[in-house]
Amino acid sequence: MNTPAPKVFHQVTIVETGEVYRCREDETLLAGMERLGKRGIPVGCRGGGCGVCKVQVEAGEYSKRVMSRAYVSAEEEAGGIVLACRVKPLSDIRLAVLGKMKKNVCATPSAAAADARQS
Amino acid sequence: MATTGVMRPGHIQLRVLDLDESVAFYKDVVGLVETGRDAAGRVYFKAWDERDHNSVILRQADRAGVDLIGFKVKDKATLEQLDKDLQAYGVATERIPAGELLETGERVRFTIPTGHVMELYAEKTDVGNGQPYTNPDPWIAASEHGIAPHRFDHCLLYGPNLEENLKLFTEVLGFHLVERVLLEDGKSLLATFISCSHKAHDLAFVAHPEPGKLHHLSFLLDSWEKVLRAADIMSMNRVSIDIGPTRHGITRGSTIYAFDPSGNRFETFCGGYETYPDHAPITWTFDEVGAGIFYHDRKLNERFLTVVT
């Protein structure tokens, strides 16, 4: 019987909340947070398409996959601004949350327009 | 009703971030049938039970979302008439030559007030559903592969100008309003559900400041049991599930929502009711919209309402 390879974990710190969780090297920062029922990074499509889980990695190494240019520019990506659903940790990570849910739909048209102007 | 004029949603072209990953997903998890690839690199699919050559087209791009949605009209004379009607109404139209999409005739393309690119076409090659038109069996092997929906059924789009948009669809394109959701002022539209057939919706729109956004595309299943099976297949394949299985108040469908590998939301649903153009539209007030959207939860769901591509 094959023994599964031991799993490699890294520690992820969300600076705003001080939330700390262990994330596997083979799962994304977002998936690791969600699997433990933790909060801090907003969860959207989990596929690099919607931009809700945008974070700034302040320290640490990571691997990444293609993410939507509608939400992360090439310059931002080069500067460590990424979508947490597309990034896997290669070391301990410190990150700041940039993304947010936009409650446009629940707002009146005027409030939604104001929200759109701000974003 | 006799289905004339605009008949049904016929195709949707989606943008995906990683083509190979998305092709495998739509083929083996959603269970669509790949029907072709073109020189531009686009990959074409249809649901097993659809007869026309393609309904879902994937294009690799640097962002997710929807490029265009095509509706099949009854015949070429209808296509010409609707083009004239659109222009007379003040909508600029453009002709896309036959063959630009594989096995698809000439298309009339225009942009609707919500910012989405819409197309009408009369011809697409009938490749059949794997059964003969004489003495067919009820299903085939492909109808058991993956989630295997019967058809691409409708989509929900996010954008501005819902009132103007509803006028275009009802006054020019022959749709009727089936259900609507009003904002807090009791007058402005938060959402519209419109039909060009007997279906509870062929298209739906939600008010949103950014134009041209995709909330979801939807695939039809034939039972609640198949919806649960779809949920199992999603979890087996570690698909990003948004919500469900549950039931809508609006249109009454039983449903599960998930995201494709690029974050485009899709629905697999069954049920709902049949509608006719003489039916009075159903209205949901803002204070009860939570139950309208998810009938059991009875509250607004932030991710479902706000995450779009």
Contact at CB, A50 and B309, closer than 8 angstroms: yes
| Across B273-289, average pLDDT | 93
Instruction: Kindly give the residue spans of alpha helices, DSSP state H, lying in chain B.
Output: 19-24, 76-89, 162-171, 224-236, 289-293, 302-306
User: How far is it, in rounded angstroms, from Cα B261 to Cα A107?
Assistant: 29
Burial class (CB in 10 A: 0-12, 13-18, 19+), A119: exposed
Per-residue model confidence as pLDDT tens digits over B59-100: 999 999 999 999 999 999 999 999 999 999 999 999 999 999
Inform me whether the C-beta atom of residue A115 falls under 8 Å from chain B C-beta atoms: yes
> Hey, what are B138's tokens?
């009820």
| Across B18-46, average pLDDT | 98
Ordered per-residue pLDDT tens for chain A, 119 residues: 677 788 999 999 999 889 999 999 999 999 999 999 998 999 999 999 999 999 999 999 999 999 999 999 999 999 999 999 999 999 999 999 998 875 544 444 444 444 444 44
How many CB pairs below 8 Å do chains A and B form together?
98
Contact at CB, A103 and B302, closer than 8 angstroms: yes
| Across B162-167, average pLDDT | 98
pLDDT at B300: 84
Per CB-CB distance under 8 Å, the chain A contacts of B184 are 108
Annotated active-site residue in B53, B116, B150, B216: B216
- 3-state class of B206 per DSSP? strand
Secondary structure in 3-state letters for chain A: CCCCCCCCEEEEEECCCCCEEEEECCCCHHHHHHHCCCCCCCCCCCCCCCCCCEEEEEECCEEECCCCCCCCCHHHHHCCEEEHHHEEECCCEEEEECCCCCCCCCCCHHHHHHHHHHC
Burial class (CB in 10 A: 0-12, 13-18, 19+), B225: exposed
Contact at CB, B261 and A47, closer than 8 angstroms: yes
pLDDT at A2: 73
Q: In the annotation, is B44 catalytic?
A: no
Q: In the annotation, is B145 catalytic?
A: no
B-contacting residues of A 28-47, CB under 8 Å?
A: 43-47
pLDDT at A103: 52
The whole-model pTM stands at: 0.92
pLDDT at A116: 46
A-contacting residues of B 140-199, CB under 8 Å?
A: 158, 183-185, 188, 190
Per-residue model confidence as pLDDT tens digits over B96-135: 999 999 999 999 999 999 999 999 999 999 999 999 999 9
Instruction: Using the Cα atoms of residue B173, residue B165, residue B151 and residue B50 in order, give the sign of their dihedral.
Output: positive
